Amino acid sequence: MESKTTIINYTHSQAGHCESGATSNLFKFNGLDISEPMAFGLGNGLYFSYIPFLKVQYAPMMSFRNLPNTVFKRSTTYLGIDHTVVKKIKDPGQAMDALDRNLENGLPTGLQVGVFQLTFFPPEYRMHYNMHNLVVFGKEGNNYHVSDTVMELPQVISYDDLVRVRYAKGPFAPEGKMYWIHGKVAQEIDLKPAIAIAIKKTVKEMIGIPFPLIGVKGIRWMARDMKKWPKKHGNEKASFYLGQVLRMAEDFGTGGAGFRFIYGSFLKEAGEIYNHDGILEAADLMGKTANKWREFTYAGARNCKNRAKPTEDYGHLGDMMLEIAASEEMVFRKLEKIKL
């Protein structure tokens, strides 16, 4: 293989959430100063769904974020920025060639990858999770330079390893998905219209979908289920299920409290841009809700530490969750009324 060196002058910065971090870094590279929370909020990152009949890693599936690639796709679309998303490339060789071409053209390219075989990733997070995102910004011989927002510094990964993670199998398989922005963006982009659409859409997704497992209703459903867990499955399993809720909310690349802190800071930034008291109030409420999520984590973690004998009552934890749902609903009802 020819050894050609192309390294794009790309600034890596660490972020709480992989995809919005990658999106924000790509925006910054193209001359548009958008912070991570802003990218997350504009891309409708916030979501909740609970799917008790699907088991992932021996516990019910739930998600605190939208489907992979939503953040990049929606934020660029709402801002009217020229971008490309290639959903699926069948042949790995072709996918890597396309990546090389992009790098030669000076376009840092975002990829969806699976985490399990990602060589530089912290070992304790290497589970089967296919919705991770990173940006490739350089090639040196057989190695690629990669900016992964979970890590402190840019990393290096070999050709074969990159092929393996890009074609990880399983649910939500990446299948070589890649995305990039076409060149520099005009400096004067007005964020206001995009913010208005984004907030409206998130409100709709959290309280407007008439299906009981999605949005605030989903949180309520999970809370009611949680109260039944110890009786239905026994203490060990109930504590593992509870642990899964907390792991999804706290550990896996969320920046804490199931993205609620990030969304709160988005609302705060949006309120400052609009100079709107209603949004700022909503941001304050969102922050308080996020703090409640953290309290829930501390209470739940005590149960996970002492697995056979729960120290906290599951009824109490369920009530805490219902309280969180109520307070989240209040935020979205408030946002719903605001006319932007």
Partner 1 sequence: MEESQNPVYKNKDYGKYREMLYSSYTGGKFEKAVGFHGEADRVILEQAWDLFKERIEDARQRVLAGKASPVVFYMEKNLLDPLGLSMVAGISLLRVKWHFRPNAFKRLSNNTLGKYAKAFNISIEQLKKVE
Q: Rule CB under 8 A: which residues touch partner 1? A: 14-16, 37, 57-58, 116-117, 122, 124, 127-128, 149-152, 164, 169-170, 239-240, 243-244, 246-247, 250-251, 255-257, 261-262, 264-265, 268, 284, 287-288, 290-291, 294, 297-298, 300-301, 304-305, 307
d(C-alpha 222, C-alpha 207), whole Å: 15
Smallest separation, CB 124 to partner 1 (Å): 6
Comparing CB distances to partner 1, the nearer of 60 and 256 is 256
Smallest separation, CB 317 to partner 1 (Å): 13
Smallest separation, CB 82 to partner 1 (Å): 29
Tokens read off for 15: 């972020």
d(C-alpha 201, C-alpha 224), whole Å: 27
Tokens read off for 254: 């969320």
Smallest separation, CB 300 to partner 1 (Å): 8
Given a contact cutoff of 8 angstroms between Cβ atoms, the answer to whether 40 and 74 are in contact is no
Q: How far is CA 277 from the centre of its chain?
A: 27
Comparing CB distances to partner 1, the nearer of 204 and 237 is 237
Smallest separation, CB 182 to partner 1 (Å): 28
Tokens read off for 285: 């409420």
Comparing CB distances to partner 1, the nearer of 64 and 261 is 261
Smallest separation, CB 29 to partner 1 (Å): 19
Smallest separation, CB 195 to partner 1 (Å): 17
Q: What angle do CA 128, 129, 133 make, to 5 degrees?
A: 140
Torsion sign over Cα 328, 330, 335, 336: positive
d(C-alpha 196, C-alpha 44), whole Å: 12
Longest CA pairwise span in the chain (Å): 63
Residue 276: CA atoms inside 13 Å, Cβ hemisphere, count? 20
Comparing CB distances to partner 1, the nearer of 15 and 107 is 15
Comparing CB distances to partner 1, the nearer of 83 and 307 is 307
Question: At 23, which helix (H) or strand (E)?
Answer: helix 18-29
Smallest separation, CB 288 to partner 1 (Å): 7
Query: In the beta sheet, which residues pair with residue 132?
Result: 113
Tokens read off for 146: 């990669």
Comparing CB distances to partner 1, the nearer of 54 and 67 is 54
Comparing CB distances to partner 1, the nearer of 298 and 337 is 298
Given a contact cutoff of 8 angstroms between Cβ atoms, the answer to whether 129 and 77 are in contact is no
Given a contact cutoff of 8 angstroms between Cβ atoms, the answer to whether 114 and 128 are in contact is yes
Comparing CB distances to partner 1, the nearer of 60 and 208 is 60
Tokens read off for 309: 């004998």
Residue 138: CA atoms inside 13 Å, Cβ hemisphere, count? 16
Smallest separation, CB 121 to partner 1 (Å): 8
> CA-CA distances (angstroms) from residue 274 to 65, 188, 191, 192?
25, 16, 9, 7
Comparing CB distances to partner 1, the nearer of 5 and 13 is 13
